[in-house]
Protein backbone atom coordinates (compact mmCIF):
# COMPACT_ATOMS: atom_id res chain seq x y z
CA UNK A 1 0.00 0.00 0.00
CA UNK A 2 2.93 2.28 0.57
CA UNK A 3 3.89 2.35 -3.08
CA UNK A 4 0.29 2.95 -4.11
CA UNK A 5 0.07 5.84 -1.72
CA UNK A 6 3.33 7.22 -3.09
CA UNK A 7 2.17 6.89 -6.67
CA UNK A 8 -1.17 8.46 -5.96
CA UNK A 9 0.61 11.38 -4.41
CA UNK A 10 2.67 11.80 -7.58
CA UNK A 11 -0.15 11.45 -10.07
CA UNK A 12 -2.90 12.98 -7.98
CA UNK A 13 -5.10 15.75 -9.33
CA UNK A 14 -3.83 19.11 -8.15
CA UNK A 15 -5.43 22.52 -8.28
CA UNK A 16 -3.78 24.85 -10.80
CA UNK A 17 -4.32 28.61 -10.59
CA UNK A 18 -3.85 30.76 -13.67
CA UNK A 19 -1.45 33.61 -12.92
CA UNK A 20 -1.19 34.96 -16.46
CA UNK A 21 -2.78 34.41 -19.86
CA UNK A 22 -0.69 35.46 -22.87
CA UNK A 23 -1.90 35.42 -26.49
CA UNK A 24 0.51 33.57 -28.82
CA UNK A 25 -1.55 33.62 -32.04
CA UNK A 26 -5.14 34.54 -32.96
CA UNK A 27 -6.29 31.19 -31.54
CA UNK A 28 -3.63 30.09 -29.04
CA UNK A 29 -2.82 31.26 -25.54
CA UNK A 30 -0.11 30.46 -23.04
CA UNK A 31 -1.39 29.94 -19.52
CA UNK A 32 1.13 30.53 -16.76
CA UNK A 33 0.14 28.38 -13.80
CA UNK A 34 0.77 28.16 -10.12
CA UNK A 35 0.54 24.49 -9.07
CA UNK A 36 1.37 23.93 -5.39
CA UNK A 37 3.36 20.72 -4.93
CA UNK A 38 4.30 20.46 -8.62
CA UNK A 39 7.08 17.81 -8.75
CA UNK A 40 8.89 19.22 -11.81
CA UNK A 41 8.92 17.86 -15.35
CA UNK A 42 11.11 16.75 -18.23
CA UNK A 43 11.09 18.55 -21.57
CA UNK A 44 8.47 17.00 -23.85
CA UNK A 45 6.07 15.82 -21.14
CA UNK A 46 2.42 16.77 -20.91
CA UNK A 47 -0.32 17.20 -18.31
CA UNK A 48 -3.90 16.01 -18.11
CA UNK A 49 -6.45 18.73 -17.38
CA UNK A 50 -9.89 18.01 -15.93
CA UNK A 51 -12.75 20.47 -16.04
CA UNK A 52 -15.91 19.81 -14.04
CA UNK A 53 -19.19 21.49 -14.96
CA UNK A 54 -21.71 22.59 -12.35
CA UNK A 55 -23.82 19.49 -13.07
CA UNK A 56 -20.81 17.26 -12.39
CA UNK A 57 -20.01 16.51 -16.04
CA UNK A 58 -16.27 16.10 -16.44
CA UNK A 59 -14.03 16.53 -19.43
CA UNK A 60 -10.35 15.56 -19.61
CA UNK A 61 -7.73 16.61 -22.14
CA UNK A 62 -3.95 16.43 -22.43
CA UNK A 63 -1.80 19.50 -23.07
CA UNK A 64 1.92 19.72 -23.68
CA UNK A 65 4.11 21.68 -21.33
CA UNK A 66 5.76 24.65 -23.07
CA UNK A 67 8.10 25.84 -20.33
CA UNK A 68 11.55 24.43 -19.69
CA UNK A 69 12.02 22.33 -16.54
CA UNK A 70 14.38 25.03 -15.26
CA UNK A 71 11.66 27.70 -15.33
CA UNK A 72 9.84 27.95 -11.99
CA UNK A 73 6.33 28.53 -13.38
CA UNK A 74 4.53 25.86 -15.37
CA UNK A 75 3.38 27.11 -18.78
CA UNK A 76 0.97 25.44 -21.18
CA UNK A 77 0.21 26.73 -24.66
CA UNK A 78 -3.30 25.84 -25.71
CA UNK A 79 -4.61 25.99 -29.25
CA UNK A 80 -8.35 26.52 -29.54
CA UNK A 81 -10.11 23.59 -31.18
CA UNK A 82 -13.40 24.66 -32.75
CA UNK A 83 -16.27 22.80 -31.04
CA UNK A 84 -13.82 21.58 -28.39
CA UNK A 85 -15.03 20.98 -24.84
CA UNK A 86 -11.97 22.25 -23.01
CA UNK A 87 -9.77 24.46 -25.21
CA UNK A 88 -12.39 27.19 -25.93
CA UNK A 89 -12.80 27.69 -22.18
CA UNK A 90 -9.04 27.75 -21.55
CA UNK A 91 -8.27 30.12 -24.42
CA UNK A 92 -11.26 32.47 -24.30
CA UNK A 93 -12.88 32.45 -20.89
CA UNK A 94 -10.26 31.50 -18.33
CA UNK A 95 -8.76 34.50 -16.53
CA UNK A 96 -5.94 34.97 -14.03
CA UNK A 97 -7.14 33.69 -10.68
CA UNK A 98 -9.30 30.96 -12.25
CA UNK A 99 -8.59 27.40 -11.18
CA UNK A 100 -8.87 23.93 -12.66
CA UNK A 101 -7.63 20.43 -11.92
CA UNK A 102 -4.39 19.17 -13.42
CA UNK A 103 -2.26 16.06 -13.01
CA UNK A 104 1.20 15.21 -14.19
CA UNK A 105 3.73 15.44 -15.54
CA UNK A 106 2.99 12.36 -17.61
CA UNK A 107 4.78 10.55 -20.41
CA UNK A 108 8.31 9.17 -20.56
CA UNK A 109 8.50 8.43 -24.27
CA UNK A 110 8.42 11.82 -25.97
CA UNK A 111 11.05 13.40 -23.71
CA UNK A 112 14.52 14.81 -24.16
CA UNK A 113 17.51 14.29 -21.88
CA UNK A 114 19.35 17.58 -21.65
CA UNK A 115 22.61 15.80 -20.85
CA UNK A 116 22.62 14.15 -24.29
CA UNK A 117 24.90 15.48 -27.04
CA UNK A 118 23.09 13.50 -29.72
CA UNK A 119 22.00 15.83 -32.57
CA UNK A 120 18.34 16.78 -32.57
CA UNK A 121 15.89 17.09 -35.43
CA UNK A 122 12.60 18.67 -34.37
CA UNK A 123 9.67 18.69 -36.80
CA UNK A 124 6.49 20.50 -35.79
CA UNK A 125 3.12 21.05 -37.41
CA UNK A 126 1.22 24.02 -35.97
CA UNK A 127 0.80 23.76 -32.21
CA UNK A 128 2.94 20.60 -32.33
CA UNK A 129 5.68 23.12 -31.63
CA UNK A 130 4.68 23.33 -27.94
CA UNK A 131 6.54 20.30 -26.51
CA UNK A 132 9.44 20.96 -28.89
CA UNK A 133 9.64 24.51 -27.53
CA UNK A 134 10.14 23.03 -24.06
CA UNK A 135 13.11 21.13 -25.52
CA UNK A 136 14.49 24.24 -27.29
CA UNK A 137 14.09 26.35 -24.16
CA UNK A 138 15.86 23.78 -22.02
CA UNK A 139 18.53 23.38 -24.70
CA UNK A 140 19.28 27.10 -24.38
CA UNK A 141 19.01 27.32 -20.60
CA UNK A 142 21.48 24.48 -20.00
CA UNK A 143 23.77 25.62 -22.83
CA UNK A 144 23.47 22.29 -24.62
CA UNK A 145 25.93 21.70 -27.43
CA UNK A 146 23.63 19.22 -29.20
CA UNK A 147 23.29 20.45 -32.79
CA UNK A 148 19.58 21.14 -33.23
CA UNK A 149 17.46 21.75 -36.32
CA UNK A 150 13.84 22.83 -36.09
CA UNK A 151 11.43 22.63 -38.99
CA UNK A 152 8.08 24.28 -38.26
CA UNK A 153 5.14 24.08 -40.60
CA UNK A 154 2.40 26.64 -39.96
CA UNK A 155 -0.60 27.74 -41.96
CA UNK A 156 0.20 31.45 -41.90
CA UNK A 157 2.87 33.67 -40.38
CA UNK A 158 0.52 34.82 -37.63
CA UNK A 159 -0.11 31.17 -36.70
CA UNK A 160 3.57 30.74 -35.81
CA UNK A 161 3.78 30.33 -32.05
CA UNK A 162 6.60 32.03 -30.12
CA UNK A 163 7.61 33.84 -33.31
CA UNK A 164 9.83 36.49 -31.72
CA UNK A 165 11.45 33.94 -29.48
CA UNK A 166 12.20 31.68 -32.45
CA UNK A 167 13.70 34.59 -34.37
CA UNK A 168 15.87 35.50 -31.40
CA UNK A 169 16.89 31.88 -31.01
CA UNK A 170 17.86 31.73 -34.67
CA UNK A 171 20.07 34.81 -34.30
CA UNK A 172 21.59 33.91 -30.96
CA UNK A 173 22.06 30.18 -30.56
CA UNK A 174 24.86 28.76 -32.66
CA UNK A 175 23.83 25.17 -32.16
CA UNK A 176 20.24 25.81 -33.29
CA UNK A 177 18.86 26.38 -36.78
CA UNK A 178 15.23 27.33 -37.34
CA UNK A 179 13.37 26.65 -40.58
CA UNK A 180 9.81 27.73 -41.30
CA UNK A 181 7.36 26.79 -43.97
CA UNK A 182 3.95 28.39 -44.52
CA UNK A 183 1.25 26.27 -46.10
CA UNK A 184 -1.74 28.59 -46.55
CA UNK A 185 -0.41 32.08 -46.97
CA UNK A 186 1.20 33.94 -49.74
CA UNK A 187 4.34 34.74 -47.75
CA UNK A 188 5.52 38.35 -47.31
CA UNK A 189 7.94 39.61 -50.01
CA UNK A 190 10.99 39.39 -47.76
CA UNK A 191 10.10 35.81 -46.73
CA UNK A 192 13.16 33.59 -46.68
CA UNK A 193 11.44 30.39 -45.60
CA UNK A 194 9.47 27.84 -47.60
CA UNK A 195 5.86 28.15 -48.71
CA UNK A 196 4.64 24.60 -49.20
CA UNK A 197 3.79 21.52 -47.22
CA UNK A 198 6.62 19.50 -45.70
CA UNK A 199 8.10 17.19 -48.32
CA UNK A 200 11.13 14.99 -48.76
CA UNK A 201 13.34 17.68 -50.33
CA UNK A 202 12.58 20.02 -47.43
CA UNK A 203 13.47 17.44 -44.79
CA UNK A 204 16.67 16.61 -46.65
CA UNK A 205 17.56 20.32 -46.79
CA UNK A 206 16.96 20.75 -43.04
CA UNK A 207 19.08 17.72 -42.08
CA UNK A 208 21.13 16.46 -40.33
CA UNK A 209 21.01 13.36 -42.47
CA UNK A 210 20.50 9.81 -41.21
CA UNK A 211 24.28 9.32 -40.99
CA UNK A 212 24.43 11.87 -38.16
CA UNK A 213 22.05 9.58 -36.25
CA UNK A 214 19.97 12.38 -34.76
CA UNK A 215 17.22 11.88 -32.24
CA UNK A 216 14.06 12.96 -34.04
CA UNK A 217 10.86 14.38 -32.56
CA UNK A 218 7.79 14.92 -34.72
CA UNK A 219 4.67 16.51 -33.25
CA UNK A 220 1.46 17.87 -34.71
CA UNK A 221 -1.91 16.86 -36.09
CA UNK A 222 -2.09 13.14 -36.96
CA UNK A 223 -2.03 13.57 -40.79
CA UNK A 224 1.00 15.86 -40.52
CA UNK A 225 2.90 13.42 -38.28
CA UNK A 226 1.99 10.45 -40.48
CA UNK A 227 3.34 12.23 -43.54
CA UNK A 228 6.50 13.63 -41.94
CA UNK A 229 7.42 10.45 -40.05
CA UNK A 230 6.82 8.37 -43.20
CA UNK A 231 9.13 10.64 -45.21
CA UNK A 232 11.83 10.52 -42.53
CA UNK A 233 11.86 6.72 -42.56
CA UNK A 234 11.88 6.79 -46.37
CA UNK A 235 14.95 9.07 -46.28
CA UNK A 236 16.67 6.51 -44.10
CA UNK A 237 16.30 7.61 -40.48
CA UNK A 238 16.10 4.73 -38.03
CA UNK A 239 12.37 4.33 -37.21
CA UNK A 240 13.29 3.77 -33.55
CA UNK A 241 14.93 7.20 -33.42
CA UNK A 242 11.79 8.92 -34.73
CA UNK A 243 9.61 9.85 -31.76
CA UNK A 244 6.11 10.92 -32.64
CA UNK A 245 3.30 12.69 -30.84
CA UNK A 246 0.03 12.92 -32.74
CA UNK A 247 -2.59 15.39 -31.58
CA UNK A 248 -5.42 13.71 -33.48
CA UNK A 249 -7.55 15.23 -36.25
CA UNK B 1 -8.18 9.92 -35.76
CA UNK B 2 -5.53 7.91 -33.97
CA UNK B 3 -2.92 9.30 -31.60
CA UNK B 4 0.03 7.64 -29.81
CA UNK B 5 0.22 5.54 -26.66
CA UNK B 6 2.04 8.51 -25.21
CA UNK B 7 -1.29 10.39 -25.15
CA UNK B 8 -2.68 8.10 -22.43
CA UNK B 9 0.48 8.10 -20.33
CA UNK B 10 -1.64 9.36 -17.42
CA UNK B 11 -4.22 6.57 -17.72
CA UNK B 12 -1.47 3.94 -18.08
CA UNK B 13 0.28 5.33 -15.03
CA UNK B 14 -2.97 5.04 -13.07
CA UNK B 15 -3.27 1.39 -14.13
CA UNK B 16 0.36 0.30 -13.71
CA UNK B 17 1.19 2.77 -10.90
CA UNK B 18 4.39 3.62 -12.80
CA UNK B 19 5.19 5.45 -16.00
CA UNK B 20 5.30 2.82 -18.78
CA UNK B 21 5.25 4.68 -22.11
CA UNK B 22 9.06 4.51 -22.38
CA UNK B 23 8.95 0.75 -21.69
CA UNK B 24 8.48 -1.71 -24.52
CA UNK B 25 6.08 -4.35 -25.72
CA UNK B 26 6.86 -7.24 -28.06
CA UNK B 27 3.99 -7.96 -30.41
CA UNK B 28 2.37 -11.40 -30.31
CA UNK B 29 1.71 -11.20 -34.05
CA UNK B 30 4.73 -9.68 -35.77
CA UNK B 31 7.31 -10.10 -33.01
CA UNK B 32 8.51 -6.50 -33.25
CA UNK B 33 9.44 -4.68 -30.05
CA UNK B 34 8.26 -1.08 -29.76
CA UNK B 35 7.95 1.52 -27.03
CA UNK B 36 4.46 1.54 -25.56
CA UNK B 37 4.34 5.30 -26.19
CA UNK B 38 4.93 4.60 -29.90
CA UNK B 39 1.90 2.33 -30.22
CA UNK B 40 -1.15 3.64 -32.05
CA UNK B 41 -3.98 4.81 -29.85
CA UNK B 42 -7.62 4.68 -30.86
CA UNK B 43 -10.19 6.25 -28.56
CA UNK B 44 -13.91 5.71 -28.27
CA UNK B 45 -15.82 4.45 -25.24
CA UNK B 46 -12.38 3.41 -23.97
CA UNK B 47 -8.95 2.98 -25.48
CA UNK B 48 -7.42 0.48 -27.90
CA UNK B 49 -3.65 0.35 -28.39
CA UNK B 50 -2.33 -1.27 -31.55
CA UNK B 51 1.11 -2.39 -32.69
CA UNK B 52 2.72 0.40 -34.79
CA UNK B 53 4.15 -2.22 -37.14
CA UNK B 54 1.32 -4.69 -37.80
CA UNK B 55 -1.69 -3.00 -36.15
CA UNK B 56 -2.66 -6.05 -34.09
CA UNK B 57 -4.25 -5.25 -30.75
CA UNK B 58 -1.86 -4.52 -27.88
CA UNK B 59 -4.37 -3.50 -25.22
CA UNK B 60 -8.02 -2.74 -24.69
CA UNK B 61 -8.92 -0.42 -21.85
CA UNK B 62 -12.59 0.06 -21.06
CA UNK B 63 -13.52 2.87 -18.73
CA UNK B 64 -16.24 2.06 -16.22
CA UNK B 65 -17.20 4.43 -13.41
CA UNK B 66 -14.29 4.56 -10.99
CA UNK B 67 -12.44 1.74 -12.69
CA UNK B 68 -10.71 0.41 -15.80
CA UNK B 69 -11.13 -3.04 -17.42
CA UNK B 70 -7.83 -3.87 -19.05
CA UNK B 71 -6.79 -6.68 -21.40
CA UNK B 72 -3.18 -6.83 -22.55
CA UNK B 73 -1.75 -8.73 -25.53
CA UNK B 74 1.87 -9.55 -26.32
CA UNK B 75 4.79 -9.30 -23.94
CA UNK B 76 4.88 -6.06 -21.94
CA UNK B 77 8.24 -5.29 -20.32
CA UNK B 78 7.29 -3.09 -17.41
CA UNK B 79 9.58 -2.31 -14.50
CA UNK B 80 7.98 -2.83 -11.09
CA UNK B 81 7.48 0.31 -9.03
CA UNK B 82 10.58 1.37 -7.10
Q: What is the pLDDT of residues A190-221, one digit of tens each?
A: 888 999 999 999 999 999 999 999 999 999 99
**A:220-239 residues touching chain B, CB 8 A cutoff:** 222-223
Instruction: Using a CB–CB cutoff of 8 Å, tell me whether A34 touches chain B.
Output: no
pLDDT band for A186, please (50, 70, 90 cuts).
Answer: confident
pLDDT at A189: 84
pLDDT at A2 over 70: no
Neighbours of A96 (CB within 10 A): 12
Residues of B whose CB is below 8 A from A229: none
Q: Which of B10, B36, B37 shows the shortest C-beta gap to A48?
A: B10
pLDDT band for A71, please (50, 70, 90 cuts).
Answer: very high
The model's pTM is 0.94
pLDDT at A8: 46
The CA distance from A139 to A202, in Å, is 24
Phi, psi of A248, rounded to the nearest 5 degrees: 100, -165
Instruction: Using a CB–CB cutoff of 8 Å, tell me whether A50 touches chain B.
Output: no
* In B1-82, beta strands by DSSP E: 3-4, 24-26, 33-35, 40-43, 46-50, 57-64, 67-72, 75-77
The dihedral sign for the CA sequence A89, A95, A98, A99: positive
Longest dimension (CA), chain B: 35
Using an 8 Å Cβ cutoff, are A91 and A98 in contact? no
B3 vs A108: CB contact, 8 Å cut-off? no
Using an 8 Å Cβ cutoff, are A149 and A179 in contact? yes
pLDDT at A4 over 50: no
The sheet with strand B75-77 has its strands ordered as: B33-35, B24-26, B75-77
Burial A41-74 (b: 16+ CB within 10 A, else e): bbbbbbbbbebeeeeeeeeebbbbbbbbbeeeeb
Q: Which of A3, A106, A223 shows the shortest C-beta gap to B10?
A: A106
The CA distance from B52 to A97, in Å, is 42
A247 vs B3: CB contact, 8 Å cut-off? yes
Instruction: Using a CB–CB cutoff of 8 Å, tell me whether A14 touches chain B.
Output: no
pLDDT band for A6, please (50, 70, 90 cuts).
Answer: very low
Arithmetic mean of pLDDT, A34-42: 96
pLDDT at B40: 97
B38 vs A3: CB contact, 8 Å cut-off? no
pLDDT at B79: 85
Residues of B whose CB is below 8 A from A108: 9, 19-22, 37
Tell me the pLDDT of chain A averaged across its residues: 93
pLDDT at A68: 98
B6 vs A4: CB contact, 8 Å cut-off? no
The CA distance from B15 to A7, in Å, is 11
Longest dimension (CA), chain A: 64
Arithmetic mean of pLDDT, A171-186: 88
pLDDT at A66 over 80: yes
Contacts of B78 (CB under 8 A, 6+ apart): B16, B18, B20, B23
Instruction: Using a CB–CB cutoff of 8 Å, tell me whether A111 touches chain B.
Output: yes
Q: Give me the average pLDDT of each 10-residue run along chain B (82 residues).
A: 96 94 97 97 95 97 91 93 74
pLDDT at A5 over 50: no
Amino acid sequence: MERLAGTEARLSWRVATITESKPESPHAKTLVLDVPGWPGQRAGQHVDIRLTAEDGYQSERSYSIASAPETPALELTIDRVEDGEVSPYLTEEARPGDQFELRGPVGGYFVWEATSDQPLLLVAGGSGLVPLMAILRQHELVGSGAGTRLLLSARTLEDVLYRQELEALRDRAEAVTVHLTLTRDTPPPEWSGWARRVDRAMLEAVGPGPDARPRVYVCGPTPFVEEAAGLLVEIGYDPRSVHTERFGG
Amino acid sequence: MHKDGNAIAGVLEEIFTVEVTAETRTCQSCGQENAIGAHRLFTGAGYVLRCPNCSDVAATIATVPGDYRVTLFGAWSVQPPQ
